[in-house]
Structure formats: structure tokens, C-alpha cells
Structure 1
Amino acid sequence: MSTEIYSSVRLTLFRHSANSFLAALDEAQISHGPIHMFSSNPQGSGVVEAITALSDAMPWNAIAKVVVAWIEARKSREILIHTESGDSIHAKGYSASEIQKLLQKSTNVIVIDTKPVDEP
């Protein structure tokens, strides 16, 4: 039995954000995978992905840099970080080091782009 501790970042990506944000993670070589959710009740239309690694190997800094670059690439983009304490923080305007600290306390990260990629 392993005593290693795992860390995970849960990402909920909506409509226009999924392809571009996941491509940014791929470009940064950050491994991620889908979380399949089953429910008898109607659910939102978001895609849920997770980044999971041994705690010591979690690429917190790289994920934070992807978040900052992705937000800054278009005005229509926003990322909300929900923390263990129940806070909801808009990541726009935060530095990569600040976002890194928030991600380590996150329970869910919501990734939103209100416009399709082909719209400016």
C-alpha cells in the first residue's frame, strides 16, 4: 500500500473554453484527463477534467502560468477558483505566483470563454 499523497485540480470547462484551455495544457505538457459524471438529474453542459499527480510532482507553477496566459489572450475569458474555505476568486488580474497558491487550495476551477475562438 502506497503512502504517497496525491494532489488534484478539478477543472469545469464550458462551451467555448474547453478546446482552447485543454490545448494550452497540452502545449505546456500538463497531463489531464476527463472525469465522467453520472447522475439521474439534469446537469450543466460543462466538461469536467482533472489534473492529478503525486503532491511532490504536481506542476503547480506550470498550471498557474497556463491560467494567466489563457486569461490574458482574450478579454472574453475568465477563470473562477473555488477554494476549500468556500471562497470564489476571479483569477483575472492575479499573478502566476498568486494563482499557484490559490490552485493548491482549490476544490474546483471553472474555465469560461464567452465567445467562440473564431470571434475576436
Structure 2
Amino acid sequence: MSNGTYSSIRLTLFKHGGGSFLAALDEANIPHGPIHTFNSRPQASGLVEVITALSDAMPWNSIAKVIVAWIDARKSREIIIHTEAGYKLHAKGYSVAEIQKVLPESVNLIVIDTQPVDKENS
């Protein structure tokens, strides 16, 4: 989401995808940080992180490259991009250029890997 001054993308990391996706962001030198929420009602399990930068400095291309490479590394991986307009894009099968076009309008990325990292890529 962009407001003209800064941009931020919320990352909701489920299953076994959290550690490996955050490591991929670290390898690409894309800063991110945890969001701590407190609620008295039950919540879905998962880690929540955020990538925030000045709008002109947001590394859209680098984030798109990480998304495509991370998904392509294992068949068990999926990223769902949610936009401000309510559109959902399942990123599997899309190119870096296609993902990069959608990212500036995104508000949340759902990051899922259904297999543990130590399992063979099936």
C-alpha cells in the first residue's frame, strides 16, 4: 500500500514458509520487521512481518524477484497477493515483471509452504 510518502506490505507467513521466505528477503537485503498484535479473540496462527520504505525507495523489483525465486524453488510453495482494491493474485506461474506491476497496490502477502524445509521437493 502506498500513500505517497511511504509504502508498506504486510507479510502473513504460514506453515513452513516463514523462516525460508524471511531468509530470502535477508539475502536480497530487503529490510523487514515483525508486527506484534494483541487480541482477546482467537486468531489464525502465523507470523506477521512488514516491509516498509519511503515510496521512492521501495525495492519492488527485488521483492518480485524474491517472490518468484522462492515459489519456483519448491512445488509446495504459494504466495497470494492481496491488493487495496480487494483483488487476489496467486503468484505461482507469474513472471517477475507481472508480480512487480501488482506489488505497489498490494497490502498483504500470504506466504505458505506446506512442506518442512528438510523434506524433499516433491
SS in 1 for 2:15: coil
Aligned to 2:27: 27
Instruction: Give the TM-score taking structure 1 as reference length.
Output: 0.95
Q: Which portions of structure 1, spanning 4 or more consecutive aligned residues, are displaced by more than 3 angstroms?
A: none
1:30-109 → structure 2 map (5 Å cutoff):
30-109=30-109
In 1, the alpha carbon distance for the partners of 2:96 and 2:66 equals: 9
Structure 2 letter corresponding to 1:94 = Y
Instruction: Give the TM-score taking structure 2 as reference length.
Output: 0.93
For structure 2, list consecutive stretches of 5 or more residues without a partner in the other structure. none
Q: Deviations over 1:57-115 (max 9, x none)?
A: 00000000000000000000000001111111100111111111111111110000000
In 1, the alpha carbon distance for the partners of 2:17 and 2:43 equals: 18
Structure 2 letter corresponding to 1:37 = T
In 2, the alpha carbon distance for the partners of 1:78 and 1:12 equals: 12
1:16 aligns with 2:32: no
Aligned length in residues: 117
Deviation at 1:46, TM superposition (A): 0.8
RMSD: 0.9
Q: Percent identity?
A: 72
